[in-house]
Amino acid sequence: MKVMLSGGGTGGHIYPALALADIIKEKEADAEFLYVGSFRGVEKNIVPKTGMPFKQLHVQGFSRSLSLTNFKTVYLFLKAVSEAKKMIQAFEPDVVVGTGGYVSGAVLYAAEQLHIPTVIHEQNSVAGVTNKFLAKKATKIGIAFPDAKSFFPADKTELIGNPRAQEVAKMSSDFSWESYGLSDDKKTLLIFGGSQGAPAINFAALEAVPAFNDRDYQVVLVAGPKRIDNFMRLLQEQGKTLSDHVKVLPYIDNMPAVMQKASVLVSRAGATSIAELTALGLPSILVPSPFVTGDHQTKNAKSLVDAGAALAITEPELNGESLVKAADALLLNDDQAKAMEGQSKKVGITDAGDRFYDLIKSVVQN
241 is in an annotated binding site: no
11 is in an annotated binding site: yes
124 is in an annotated binding site: yes
50 is in an annotated binding site: no
157 is in an annotated binding site: no
12 is in an annotated binding site: yes
If one counts every other C-beta atom within 10 angstroms of the C-beta of residue 307, the result is 14
Q: What are the two backbone dihedrals, phi and then psi, of residue 190, each rounded to the nearest 5 degrees?
A: -105, 120
7 is in an annotated binding site: no
Per the annotation, where are the binding residues?
A: 10-12, 124, 195, 252, 297
Per the annotation, where are the binding residues for UDP-N-acetyl-alpha-D-glucosamine?
A: 10-12, 124, 195, 252, 297
